[in-house]
Amino acid sequence: MPSLAVTLGRLQLKNPILVASGTFGYAREMAGLVDFSKLGGVIPKTVTQTPRIGNQPPRTVETPSGMLNAIGLDNDGIDHFIAHHLPYLRTLPTAIIANIAGKAADEFVVMAEKIGREAGLAGLELNLSCPNVSGGVDFATDPEVTRRVVAGVRKVCPLPLIAKLTPNVTNIVPIAQAAADAGADAVSLVNTFVGIAIDWRNRKPVLGNVTGGLSGPAIKPLALRLVWQVAKNVGIPVIGIGGIATIDDVMEFLVAGASAVQIGTANFYNPQGAMLLAEQLTGALAQGRVESVQEIVGTLQV
């Protein structure tokens, strides 16, 4: 049987199939549908230092081959997460990777220090790239800002760190390199692309926030290109995100250089999808004539 285990810096996972933050709630919502033991890990919804009510509705709209969302990081804050969600998440038979976002670099550090003291977490993903909040992508559009945030968190938090980066930049490689230089164990690529949906008859945007983040199959070729670029130029593991719904999608990201993947938009229409992909992975590796996930990572021939 091929080995499904993957290692992302100091983070070890039993398989490379993760569910993306913001698409799986806090896992409790999926308890009746998903066998969590089959997942490589769960990344619950982003939490912030203080509660946020999110953006004005409508917050989501279906688009051709994808969806736009402008949720705006609606959550009850990190203290609520630690008190009410983390106890349940600790009981799940898979890796739990918390996800945080701050309005300033100092907020990331404060939250990371607090959550780093908690048991039951396998890692911490830094959401440096949410496009639906004021200033939300600023941390991942400038290498020096990325470096400062990751380095600050690295000093106070013992957990393996993943920097989640935005695709809404001219060149993502220097930003990923800055995250690596600052101590990130891995980078996750990519967050959503900024887009807009318009109701032309009423001359109005569909989303209450005007713009939103585009995800789903429409962004897969773009995400694959960014994963490939970073994987061949930056010396830390990459987690691929963007339109992954089938086992072929998973394998394409692995071949492009991703060491693991996150399933996002597909969770909304098929909550069991990630679990099924994990089940199909062994057969795909056998078809690729490899004995482990690691053997196929980054094998794209160009």
| Residue range 169-196, pLDDT digits in tens | 999 999 999 999 999 999 999 999 999 9
pLDDT number for residue 294: 96
CA-nearest of 222, 218, 195, 202 to 70 is 195
User: Stretch 79-100: mean pLDDT, rounded?
Assistant: 98
Whether the pLDDT of residue 138 is over 90: the answer is no
As given in the structure block, the two tokens for residue 26 are 């806090």
pLDDT number for residue 266: 98
Name the strand (E) or helix (H) holding 124: strand 123-127
pLDDT number for residue 134: 62
| CA atoms of 295 and 187, how far apart (whole Å) | 20
Whether the pLDDT of residue 208 is over 70: the answer is yes
Model confidence over 250-278: pLDDT tens digits?
A: 999 999 999 999 999 999 999 999 999 99
Whether the pLDDT of residue 133 is over 80: the answer is no
User: Stretch 39-67: mean pLDDT, rounded?
Assistant: 97
Radius of gyration for the alpha carbons in the chain, expressed in angstroms and rounded? 18
Whether the pLDDT of residue 137 is over 80: the answer is no
Mean pLDDT, the chain, whole residue set? 96
User: Stretch 33-61: mean pLDDT, rounded?
Assistant: 97
Whether 130 is a known active-site residue: answer yes
User: Stretch 207-224: mean pLDDT, rounded?
Assistant: 97
Catalytic pick from 6, 130, 159, 180? 130
Burial grade of 201 (CB within 10 A; 0-12, 13-18, 19 or more)? exposed
pLDDT number for residue 10: 96
Q: What percent of the chain has pLDDT over 70?
A: 99
pLDDT number for residue 132: 72
Whether the pLDDT of residue 52 is over 80: the answer is yes
**pTM as predicted:** 0.97
**Local confidence band at 131 (pLDDT 50, 70, 90 cut-offs):** confident
Whether the pLDDT of residue 154 is over 70: the answer is yes
**Local confidence band at 29 (pLDDT 50, 70, 90 cut-offs):** very high
Whether the pLDDT of residue 136 is over 80: the answer is no
pLDDT number for residue 135: 59
| CA atoms of 58 and 88, how far apart (whole Å) | 30
| CA atoms of 76 and 30, how far apart (whole Å) | 19
